[in-house]
Structure formats: C-alpha cells, structure tokens
Structure 1
Amino acid sequence: METLLDVLAAPFTWGLLLGLGLAIFVWRSGAKDKKFLKTELTRVKEENGELQGHLNTQLKINAKGNEQLQNQLDELKEQNETLRVNLNAIQQKPGKMELRRLEVMETAISVLREQAPGFAPAWEKALREAEDDYVAAEGGFKKLMRKVVPGFRATPDTGGKVQEIEEKSE
C-alpha cells in the first residue's frame, strides 16, 4: 500500500490521471456530438426528401396547367383561323358584293343630293366618300348598329338641309 501511495504521490501519476480524465471527457463529448449530428443528418435527409416530393408534385401540377393552357391556346388559335376563313368566305358570296355596292351607291346618291351643282365630279367624289365610309363601317360601332337595326345607314341626315334649300328657293 505504501508503494501505491508513493506512485500516487508522484507528479507523473497526477499528470497521467489528469490527462486520462481530460481524454475521457473529450471522447464522451465527441460521442454525444456524433450522435446528435447523426440524428440531425437523418432529420435533414427526411426533410430534403419531403421538400423534393413537394417540388415534384408542384412541378407536375404546373406542367399539367401549362399543358392545358397551351391546348386551350392552340384550340383558340384554330377557332380564330376557322372564323377568319369563314368570314372571308361569307364576304365572297355572290349576293354580298352586290348588296355592298348597292349600299355604297345609296350613300353616294344621298351625298350627291347635298352637292348637286356639277353632277359628274360630284358623283365620283360622293362615290369615293361612300366607299371610304363603307370600309370604315366594316368594323366598330357602325357595323354593330347595322346588325342591330337593319334600316340604319351610316349616311348623313339630309332632310334638314333639303328643307332649308327649298325654303330659300321659294
């Protein structure tokens, strides 16, 4: 026992015991950190897997929505082209050109009544103006009015001017 006390009293033994205690403390701390890091790594891997699953689901939903929008866009383009072709075909029907010409001439005659001094130049000018008015009336509000009210003409009102001229000549 005396030898044990002699060994324990030596400074080397105290240094060795202190070093072993410190090594055991560091080893246990490292083991705890290693265990914590393993659990953290598995948690992060699971979370990453869930996020990738959500991302894949979101991408599939977006792709399906984009595909549906693209299909609708293609369908609408096809319908637009069909309607354009149908409109051109309807405008080329035999009766449409004559009806258009008749309407243009009617407008030109009403304008000519206002400007009666020289018949030939006034007739040509009125015919050109009526043609331009008809082209302008092909779209927009005037076209809508012609469809809604069939008797509607895009011609100026000449009734008041004709009465004024008649009253002045009397």
Structure 2
Amino acid sequence: METLLEILSHPFSWGLLLGLGLVIFVWRSGAKDRKFLKAELKRIKEENSELQGHLNTQLKINAKGNELLQNQLDELREQNETLRVNLSTVQQKPGKAELRRLEVTEAAISVMREQAPGFAQAWEKALRESEDDYVAAEGGLKKLMRKVVPSFRATPDTGGKKVEEIEGR
C-alpha cells in the first residue's frame, strides 16, 4: 500500500493518470460519435431510398398522364381536321352558295333602302358590307340564332314608315 501511495505522490504519475483519463474520455466520445454517425448514415440511406421510390412513382404517374394528354391531343387534332373538311364540303354543296348569296343580297337591299335608294355606288358599298357581315355571322351567336330561328336574318330593320314612303313614290 505504501508503494502505491509513493507512486501516486510523484508528479509523473499524476500526469500519466491525467493523460490516461483524457485518452479514455476522447476514446469514449469518439465511440459515441461513431455510433451516432452510423445510425445517421443508416437513416439517411433509408430516407434516400424512400425518396427515390417516391420519385420513381411520381415520374411514372406523370409519364402516364402526359401520354394520355398526348393521345387526347392527337385525337382532337384528327377530329378538328375531319370537322374542317366536313365544313368545307357542306359549304360546297349545291344550293349553299346560292343561299349565302341570297342572304347577302337581301341584307344589301335593306341597307340600300335605308341609305340611298337609286345610287349604284351605295349599292356596291352595301353589298360589300353585307358580305362582311355574313362572313362575321358565320360563327358565334348570329349563326346560332339562324339555326334556332330560321326566319332570323342579320339584316337591319328598315322600319315601316320608310318602306311605305319608298313604295308610295
């Protein structure tokens, strides 16, 4: 026991014990850090594989959606082309051009009665305006109204008094 006390009383022994204590503390701290880092690395790898699986699933879903949209777009393009061809065919049928010309002429006559009866320049101007109106009426609400109410025409009303005055002269 006395030798132990004698050994402990030397400054070298104190330095050695202090150094060993410090080494043990650092070693233990490093072991804890290694254990923590291994657990963290494992967690990150699991999270990474989970995120990759989610990303793959999301990309598959997006690819299917894009493919479906592309197919629908192609179908709509084909339908559009078919409808365009059908429309031009219907417009070229016998009687359609004459009916169109009749409606344009009817509109031009009513405008002429209103503006300047008897003047050729005004007639040509009214004819051009009626042609433009008819082209504008080919789509939209006016076209719908002509289909629903066949007697509806996009011609301005000349008014009862003016017609009576014109016919009375």
Place the TM-score, normalised by the shorter chain, in its bin.
0.7 to 0.9
The CA RMSD over aligned residues, in Å, is: 2.5
Q: Moved runs in structure 1, 4+ residues, more than 6 A?
A: none
Tell me how many residue pairs correspond in the alignment: 168
Secondary structure, aligned partner of 1:94: coil
* CA 1:122–1:33: 2 relative to 1, 3 Å: closer
Structure 2 CA distance for aligned equivalents of residues 138 and 68 of structure 1: 34
**What percentage of residue pairs aligned between the two structures are identical?**
84
Residue correspondence of structure 1 range 27-66 to structure 2 within 5 A: 27-66=27-66
Structure 2 CA distance for aligned equivalents of residues 117 and 14 of structure 1: 129
Structure 2 CA distance for aligned equivalents of residues 122 and 4 of structure 1: 134
Structure 1 CA distance for aligned equivalents of residues 22 and 101 of structure 2: 110
Q: Could you list the per-position Cα deviations for residues 111-148 of structure 1 after superposition, in whole angstroms to 9, with x for gaps in the alignment?
A: 44446742655544443333233222222222111111
TM-score (norm 1): 0.82
Structure 1, gaps ≥5 residues long: none
Q: Could you list the per-position Cα deviations for residues 32-52 of structure 1 after superposition, in whole angstroms to 9, with x for gaps in the alignment?
A: 111111111101111111112
Partner of 1:163: 164
Partner of 2:7: 7
Structure 2 CA distance for aligned equivalents of residues 128 and 3 of structure 1: 129
Structure number with the bigger relative contact order (C-alpha 8 A, sep ≥ 6) is 2
TM-score (norm 2): 0.82
Partner of 1:77: 77
Give the aligned residue type for 2:163: V
